[in-house]
Amino acid sequence: MIFDRRLKTVSSEAIYGERWLRMVYGSRLGRISSSALFGRAWFSVVFGAWMNTKFSARKIASFVSRYSIDMDEFETPPGGWKSFNEFFSRKLRAGARPFDADENTISMPADGRHSAYPDGADLSGLVVKGRPFTLAELFGGEDAARPFQGGSLVVSRLCPTDYHRFHFPLSGIPSETRHIKGGYDSVSPVAIRAGARSLCGNRRMVTILRTQSFGDVALIEVGAACVGRIVQTYAPGKPVRKCDEKGYFLFGGSTVITVFQKGRVKLSGDLVEYTASGMETYAKMGGTMGMAQE
Sequence-distant (6+) residues with CB within 8 A of 67 are: 14, 16, 161
Contact 244, 136 (CB under 8 A): no
Please tell me the pTM assigned to this model. Answer: 0.86
Q: Cα dihedral sign for 256, 153, 70, 105?
A: negative
Q: Report pLDDT for 215.
A: 97
Q: What is the pLDDT of residue 159?
A: 86
Q: CA-based angle 259:25:18, to the nearest 5?
A: 85
Q: Structural domain tally of the chain?
A: 1
User: What's 259's DSSP letter?
Assistant: E
Burial 58-90 (b: 16+ CB within 10 A, else e): eebeebeeeeebeeebbeeeeeebebbbbbbbb
Taking only the tens of pLDDT, the chain with its 294 residues reads: 899 999 999 988 766 555 655 555 555 555 545 554 555 555 666 666 788 899 999 999 998 998 889 999 999 988 899 999 899 899 999 999 999 999 999 999 999 999 999 999 988 777 654 556 889 999 999 999 999 999 999 999 998 889 999 999 999 999 999 999 887 665 555 555 544 556 777 889 999 999 999 999 999 999 876 555 789 999 999 999 999 999 999 877 688 999 999 999 999 999 999 999 989 999 999 999 999 998
Note whether 187 and 224 are within 8 A (CB): yes
What pLDDT, on the 0 to 100 scale, is given for residue 197? 57
Of 46, 33, 23, residue with least CA distance to 229: 46
What pLDDT does 37 receive?
52
What's the half-sphere exposure (Cβ side, CA atoms, 13 Å) at 5? 24
| CA-to-CA separations, 134 to 141, 260, 271, in angstroms, rounded | 10, 15, 21
Q: Which are the catalytic amino acids?
A: 111, 167, 254
Say what the pLDDT of residue 192 is.
55
State the pLDDT at residue 129. Answer: 46
183 neighbors 201 (Cβ within 8 angstroms)? yes
201 contact partners, CB below 8 Å, separation of at least 6: 137, 182, 183, 185
Element (H, E) at 159: none
Residue span of the structural domain in which 3 resides: 1-294
Q: Looking at residue 8, what is its pLDDT?
A: 93
